[in-house]
A = this chain, B = another copy of it.
Amino acid sequence: MTRVVCRQLAPRVTELAANQRQIVRTIAESTAAGADILILPELATSGYVFESRAELESCAVRATDPLLTDWATAIAGTGVVIAGFAELGEDGLYYNSAAVLDSTGILAVYRKAHLWDREKLFFTAGSQPPPVVETGFGRIGVLICYDLEFPEYTRVLALAGADLIAVPTNWPLAARPDTERPPEVLIAQATARVNRVFIACCDRAGTERGQRWTEGSSIVDENGWLIASAGADQVVQADVDLGRARNKTLAPHSNVFTDRRPELYAPILRTP
């Protein structure tokens, strides 16, 4: 069994040093306590609600920054960490990124491809497909927040072989009927089920410049069932058999991948 842990931190906007201390402490604690795969929120280094480009510039870092090396160093044992950060690219542009690391260093960096709302004022959207990282625990795919709401994109990641999709998020609190879960959780559940993959979303906590967050971190199994979700303590974890995601069979004659009819899907590629 693999222990998947989401730590629903509350970064403070622009306070890079304080956020870095929180991240390093959380990585050290969680992996020492047995987290095999640890997921932290989107933009855990920087916070989210920027008021100016200068604020983002003041706390964005290159992927080669020693700050990320310190994350790797903090990892106990064989743990794998996925965490979001504000990235200054080698091209001088700013990206909403996530790094995948183990104790040896960075395994992959992903740049969010679907930017939400005002993020477009500050960040450049990524142009590369999401990574699928082979680890000792299985194949980990990475998306960031709003990416998850594009089912053609999550399908691509599942087809690329992800067993678990790790999703650092910052979910702004949205109104919903009392009878409903957060909409992002519904989407994660459906996405998990139709692809038979595990999905772990690590949301953030706290209120930032008046923005409330859903605090909805969730782990969903390959059937789409919600097996862990955020309570008061901001830690969400589940022990899962990620190998179950390799079985795409639904019934003797049905399989979520081979039942697809790609010849009917061509309009997906049309530009709006």
Contacts and interface: CB of A to CB of B under 8 A. Distances in A.
Given A151-B152, A186-B189, A264-B129, A117 B272 contact: no
A224 B182 CA distance: 10
Interface in A154-198: 154-156, 159-160, 176-177, 179-180, 183, 186-187, 189-191, 193-194
A66 interface: no
A116 to B, nearest CB: 6
Given A152-B155, A160-B267, A117 B254 contact: yes
B252 A272 contact: no
A256 interface: yes
Interface string A201-239: 000000000000000000000011110000000000000
B183 A223 contact: yes
Interface residues of A, number: 60
B156 A151 contact: no
B260 A150 contact: yes
Nearest to A128: B264
A81 to B, nearest CB: 25
Interface in A88-145: 113-118, 120-121, 125, 127, 129
Given A146-B254, A257-B272, 5 more contacts: A114-B260, A117-B253, A150-B194, A152-B152, A156-B264
8 contacts: A113-B264, A116-B254, A117-B250, A117-B251, A118-B252, A150-B259, A262-B270, A265-B269
